[in-house]
Each structure stands twice: as C-alpha cells, then as structure tokens.
Structure 1
C-alpha cells in the first residue's frame, strides 16, 4: 500500500477512552479547477467537461445558462429508477403496465400499447437506447403513481443535489413551459447516475431488441453513436427538439479514468459528436487519475454518540480518485475525513455526515461527500450503562 494511503490520514481523530471525534464546522476549500484555455466546443450554446469521479471541471462554456434539455431530461428519470432499484422498491424483473396516458406520448417512443406490460429492464433499454417518451412516463407512473408525483420527486432530487438552474415539468423532455436545466447541472446529474455502475450496461449498448418473443421484435439502436465509434464511450443520453437543438451528455472511460462531457444547442449530430469527441481527446491526452481508495477500502471509523452501535465503519462504496496533469508530481497526496458535526444517533442510511477531502500538501485536489452506509438507532439505557461501565475498566 502506498504511503499516502496508509490509515486514510483522518482529520476526524478518535481519542482513546473518550471516543470523541474532532470535526470541522467551516466549509472546506473547493477543488482547484483545471480549465482549458481553448474553446473545445465552439458550436455549442453551452458545454462542460468534468472528471466523473472528483467532479473537477476541465472545461466549461456558459455552463450555468438555463436551457431546454430535451431528452437529456431522462438522465434524472433513469437516476430515480436506479435509486428505486438500489433501495429495493423496484426489481429489474418487475412488470410495468402501460397506461393509456403513457402510450399517448409523441416524439421518440417504443410504441407501447395501452395495457401492454414490459419488465423494468426492458423499459430501461427503451429509455436508454431509443429515448422512449412513452417508456419514461410508464416508469414514472410505476414508481410514483402519477407523472405529476414523479416530477415532484425529480425536482426534489435536483434540489438535494444542489442544482440551482434546473426545473422539470415532465420525465421525458418534451417541450413544456418552465422546463430547463444547465450543462453544469446535467453533469452533476450524470455523475450521480454513474454511481450506479450497472447503468452503463444499458446506456453503453449499441443495439438490442424488445418484444423478442413476439412476431414483430422491436429493434433498438442507440441514439448516441459514440458508444460504437469512440473508444471507451458507454453512455449516457442524447436529446433533440427544435427549441433545444442537438444535445448530449456523454461519458467515456479509459484505464479507470472516466469523463463526462455535456453539450447543449449544437447545430447538428455530426458537429455534436465531433465536439464531444474533441473534448474527450483533449482530457485523455492531458490528464490522468490517481487512485485514493478502491471499492471496499476502509475510509475510517467514526464514533456515534448514544447509538446502538458505538461506532460507524466507513468503507468506499466506489473507487475514489483525483485528476492530475499527466507527468505532474503525484507524491505527498493525503486524505482527511471531516465531519460536519459530531455524529449522534439516530443516523439515517444515506445521511450526509461530512466530506472526504484530498490534498497535495496544502492544496485541495478534490472533495467527496460522505454518507452513512447504514441506519443507526438510539441505544437503550442498559446498552449505554454497559458501555460506560466497560470504558471505566479500559
């Protein structure tokens, strides 16, 4: 194990006996940007290029402008689907029944009939590959009961992610008043979706079929041609309306280094794909990533005041890395876990409890939100009594 990874170098230090943790109330410094000094997407109205792991921005152009996203909207729809699967509220094998309303959606569709049933997995394929507006609404109704309630969930999720230039009016991106987002916000949504690594099994497919056992199987071809023609590309979502023009949130990975590129308002698909490819080419040539923790590594142990568990063990649920210039000095890298406050029961699963901040000497390279991997309830008086008594004799 490399020297800078030993014991994760926690700033949240556990004291023997008192079992108290230090914590930082101040807002930590933000990662240093790596902004390119060249316009990598000259034809786009808005664009951003980001390291998918650390969130470090490599290039941006009008990235906070509020613009119509067209079917890139479905990134949030897929995020809520993957979240529901992860939470056990939904299974890939669950049947989804198409309502008359869902079947009535125009634009891109997989031609669902009222009453037709498909599995969640097939609906996901229909959304990811064919950009099915009908499949998006069917899934919205499956998860939330109504499209309106699902849209409320979309906006609630956007708010929880800190997306200040996003408002959804539907789950598919069909033109609607007050339906907008920004390239920056799309990149954040995409980064969040990519935490569910199995999503690229759908978004990275070039072609597949629906209704395979029927007399007329439905051929799906990915609207994102980069998954076939750009090495390492495996998602995420295209979009087009006459108002939004040609849009794309794309991701590609090479040697464990994953990028997210978003362009909005491109004049045509050829230019859109060429400029996203140019963004990827630039980043892969100029940068690489340095691993901090691999999945399953112990990040640290945090004491829990009055919890039915005395401490919370934090392990990496996905790889953590930082982006650096190729050829740059990669020594003296350390990480610190900073709690926003002492951890006190009850603790909710998924509750944000602090930041993992990565430094090179005193310079902040990246920071990651740290969430509780499990729920911790309050301890009863007898548990607290036994714990206190045990501490007296240690």
Structure 2
C-alpha cells in the first residue's frame, strides 16, 4: 500500500529566489516541443508534451538503454560478436528499409559496432541485429524494452519494435517520456553516453561497385552548432515527420529538449538549434546548494536510526528567466515515508521542491549515510513505542 506523501518544511528552508510573472516567450512550428533543465528539474517549455506520437528512430534510445543496462551489469560485453541473419538482412537493406548501417548477410559484428551503427548512423538493421543478439528475437527484446520503460516511469509509451519503424500505432511515446528516457541515459550510464552519443561520423560497410568504405555523418542537428551538445537521437518517417531528442551542457548546466512533427530536415535543424539556444540564453541558473550539503532529514521506519540526513547529490540550482530580480521563495522536502530501512548511502529517497508561481522545480536528495535495519530487540521497542503512541 502506498504511503502518504509527507512534506517537511522549516524556516531554514527559505531563500532569495526569483519568482517571474511569466516565462520568456518562445514559439515554434513544431507540433510538439519540450525543454527541461536538469539542474533544477524546471520545465522551460511544454507544447503537447503528453500527446502520444510515433517516435520514429527516437525509439532507438530505448534499444540502447537496454544494452547500456546489460553492459553496466556485466551481462553484455561490447566485444561480443553478433551474427547478421540473412532473413534480417533481407528485410532491412535497400532504400525501402530506411536508414542503414550497411550490414551484410552472415556478417559477424560486435555489440560496440552495432551501438555506433544505431546511435550515429540510426541503422534500422543494426537495431534489429542487436535486439536478436541480446534476446533471441526482436519480439522478446521489445518485452525488455517495455519492462525498462515501466521501471523508468515512462507512463505513456509502448514499444512494438526495436527501431521505431511504423507498426500501425503499436509503438508510441510522448515528449515528456522521451526526455525522461534521455535523462536516464545521461545520468545512469555517463561513461557509455559519453563514448557513443557524440560521435560526429562512423564508417561501416562497403559500396557494391568499388568496395569503398561507407562513412555516414551523425544527423544530430546540435553537434558543431551548439556548444556542449553531445546527444541524443533524431527520428523521421512520413507518419511522424522530423523529430529530435537532444541534450547539451554548458557551465555545468544541462538541458534536454524534444521537438517532433516538423515538416523538413532543415526545419528540424533550425528549430532544434533555436530552442536549445533559447534555453541557455533566455534562462539563468541560480545556485542553491553545493554537492554534499546537508539539506534536512527524513524519518526512518524500522531502522538502526530513526532519521537519515538528506544531502545534495550534486550542485543544485534554480532556473529563472534571465535578468529577473530576486525575492523570497519557499522550499520543501518531499518524500514518501517514513522511509523503510535498510537505506544505502547515496540512495535517492527524497526531493527538494521549490515552489514557484508557474509551478514546482524538483531536485533529488539522497541519503547521507547507511541506515541498517533495527535488531530484534530494537524492532520490539519500536513496536511498543508505536503501540503506546510514543513514536
């Protein structure tokens, strides 16, 4: 049974913050647009963010998420060799198969190469080969994709294949869910994200005539145009239009954006760059707490300690419109509790919530120390205190 959400607030949890009357204006022809600031959790722009839409190749972020998780656990090696089944090659080669890595039937290709082919080249063939290599069949792999989606909190998304190919509506996402998925890629697998997502080009395969190596450029419209850009994934089908989920980091501040439903390749470039530049230029970051700062505490259930300190896992900041003057704002600590022991140091168990006129900005707080379970006699004593209203 879900515990009630508790709010802990104190006089100490006040600060001088900006409280804008309205956000800086931004208009875009994209049918869907979404922009968040990870330093504060602030949503800077939201246009049809919860409307279901086909993701096209942006679905491949979930394919790489599955692979990254397995690699991190040690269950998948990047040097593992995968076989390109002739049946898979037959379906996913040629102009009718969309973007391709130019794999060959019966070719042996490593997981490392496939990830580069998926992320940099948007290879539909590479996605299916990796899915079959990991799970045996693409259908079994999509079951893992949907399990991961549920675990990550993608509440309005479903995956029917590994590459986002149109499938009569079985595969759908929302911009908010895509941003959540992008955040998981960045925060949960930073080394793998850095290794694979910002390659500007990749070479694989040979031309039929001369046998020349085939080099393709990364379609990411931010690379080389927005400082700090390092991911993530474009998408395009006739059904979905042109879309992009992207991210960039400048001066320790990271933004994630999603645009979708644009009608041209150049339009996707223009709107992606424009939105990301607006996010960095029209908004400013106001520091709140340095990494490791003790912010408060949370009550603990059946633990060796009755409370656990809550600390900032990274530098926390508020996002406000550029040039806005400051005034007092309120903060709260929010968690579901009491938090049940055992608790690991660094575990995300609460959030710092800054209440703004146009919504909340939510930042994570983590346990500052390990808290073990109470011993046998400790549990008896806790039970007696609860029984007689002493706790």
Q: Which residue of 2 aligns with 1:47?
A: 33
Count of paired positions: 358
Q: Does 1:194 align with 2:186?
A: yes
Which segments of 5 or more consecutive residues in structure 1 lack a partner in the other structure? 1-22, 386-394
Change (3 A) 1:305 1:117: farther
TM-score normalised according to structure 2 size:
0.75
Q: Does 1:94 align with 2:82?
A: no
Q: Does 1:167 align with 2:155?
A: no
Q: Which residue of 1 aligns with 2:13?
A: none
Q: Is the 8 A contact 2:35 2:44 kept in 1?
A: yes
Change (3 A) 1:47 1:74: same
Within 5 Å, which residues of 2 pair with 1:91-170? 91=77, 93-100=78-85, 102-103=88-89, 104-105=91-92, 106-170=97-161
Instruction: Point out the more displaced range, 299-308 or 145-154.
Output: 299-308
Change (3 A) 1:49 1:297: same
CA distance in 1 between counterparts of 2:135 and 2:305 reads: 34
Q: Is the 8 A contact 1:35 1:57 kept in 2?
A: no
Q: Matched residue of 1:367: which SS?
A: strand
CA distance in 2 between counterparts of 1:290 and 1:49 reads: 18
Q: Which residue of 2 aligns with 1:268?
A: 264
CA distance in 1 between counterparts of 2:345 and 2:216 reads: 37
Q: Is the 8 A contact 1:96 1:139 kept in 2?
A: no
Question: How large is the Cα RMSD of the aligned pairs?
Answer: 4.0
* TM superposition shift of 1:332: 6.1
Q: Is the 8 A contact 2:221 2:272 kept in 1?
A: no
Instruction: Point out the more displaced range, 367-376 or 287-296.
Output: 367-376
Q: Which residue of 1 aligns with 2:384?
A: none
Q: Is the 8 A contact 2:313 2:364 kept in 1?
A: no
CA distance in 2 between counterparts of 1:231 and 1:25 reads: 40
CA distance in 2 between counterparts of 1:231 and 1:26 reads: 40
Q: Which residue of 2 aligns with 1:338?
A: 334
Return the match for 2:220 from 220, 224, 242.
Answer: 224
* TM superposition shift of 1:295: 5.3
CA distance in 2 between counterparts of 1:315 and 1:342 reads: 17
Q: Which residue of 2 aligns with 1:15?
A: none
* TM superposition shift of 1:251: 1.6
Q: Is the 8 A contact 1:63 1:184 kept in 2?
A: yes
Within 5 Å, which residues of 2 pair with 1:208-223? 208-210=202-204, 217-223=213-219
Q: Is the 8 A contact 2:7 2:334 kept in 1?
A: no
Change (3 A) 1:143 1:304: farther
Q: Matched residue of 2:141: which SS?
A: helix
CA shift digits 1:105-143 (9 cap, x unpaired): 332221334554444332221111101222222333444
Change (3 A) 1:359 1:59: closer
Within 5 Å, which residues of 2 pair with 1:1-394? 25-26=5-6, 35-39=23-27, 41-42=28-29, 44-91=30-77, 93-100=78-85, 102-103=88-89, 104-105=91-92, 106-177=97-168, 178-195=170-187, 196-198=189-191, 199-210=193-204, 217-293=213-289, 305-306=301-302, 317-329=313-325, 337-346=333-342, 353-358=349-354, 366-370=361-365, 378=373, 381=376
Q: Is the 8 A contact 1:97 1:117 kept in 2?
A: yes
CA distance in 2 between counterparts of 1:206 and 1:260 reads: 19
